[in-house]
Amino acid sequence: MAVYSALSNFGVRYFLEDYTEGTLPTSGTNELNDVLSCTLGEFTKDMKKYKTLNGDGWDVVVPLGQSQADATFEMVRTGEGNAYTGVAGTDAYTMLKHWFLNSVAAGGSTAKKYIVEVIPRGNNTYEGTVYSVLPLKWAPGKKDTEVGQEYSFDVTPFGAPVPVVVTHTPAAGSTPESWTFAQPQG
């Protein structure tokens, strides 16, 4: 049997954290492991053009707002154990499946989450962005004994993405690694 190695999206890390209105997550506790790829949606500025009535003939542009397209995550579930039994486990697959199924069962009332994207920028320096998201699509994917279970999910961002300062503390002895997030000062 072949062993499938996910590159974790070339060092980029993603965390799925609980949503609290008006408060950003301060630590990464629920890492989404085995991300093959992620396409975070592009930003769009909504504009309206119109001709002026004063006769100069030039268009006037008025900004009406902005939005972000949906994000797609492609994942792989490898190994054994971590069977979904109706409760969220500690692995990405069971956390995500539980979130999607409960958001439908609860009519969306428990659906909001944060996804924190952490991009390595060299020498223990990271760029972090917090996205407020709602679940959109869940695809359990194909099951393949050679690869594992490839699955995907889509989320719809809402509100503005927020840049955060990321601090990574590597594992030392029996202390596991940790990730903390803070809003920039200024």
Reading the chain (186 residues) residue by residue, the pLDDT tens digits are 334 444 446 789 999 999 999 999 999 999 998 899 998 888 888 888 887 777 677 888 888 888 899 999 999 887 777 788 888 888 899 999 999 988 876 666 668 999 999 999 988 899 999 999 999 999 988 777 666 788 999 999 999 999 999 999 999 999 999 999 999 987
C-beta separation of 101 from 93 below 8 A: no
C-beta separation of 149 from 140 below 8 A: yes
* pLDDT at res. 108: 63
* pLDDT at res. 145: 63
Residue tagged 């590159």 (tokens):
7
SS3 label, residue 50:
strand
All structural domains of the chain? 13-182 (2.30.110)
DSSP 157: E
The pairs formed by 56-65 with CB atoms below 8 angstroms and a separation of 24 or more are none
State how far the Cα of 91 lies from the Cα of 82, in Å rounded to an integer. Answer: 7
State how far the Cα of 72 lies from the Cα of 61, in Å rounded to an integer. Answer: 32
State how far the Cα of 18 lies from the Cα of 37, in Å rounded to an integer. Answer: 22
* pLDDT at res. 1: 37
State how far the Cα of 103 lies from the Cα of 163, in Å rounded to an integer. Answer: 26
Nearest partner of 81 among 93, 97, 65, judged by Cα: 93
DSSP 23: B
State how far the Cα of 165 lies from the Cα of 27, in Å rounded to an integer. Answer: 11
How is residue 47 written in tokens?
């504009």
Tell me the pLDDT tens digit for each residue of 7-38: 446 789 999 999 999 999 999 999 998 899 99
Considering the entire predicted model, what is its pTM? 0.84
State how far the Cα of 176 lies from the Cα of 27, in Å rounded to an integer. Answer: 13
Question: Hey, which residues does 51 pair with through a beta bridge?
Answer: 59
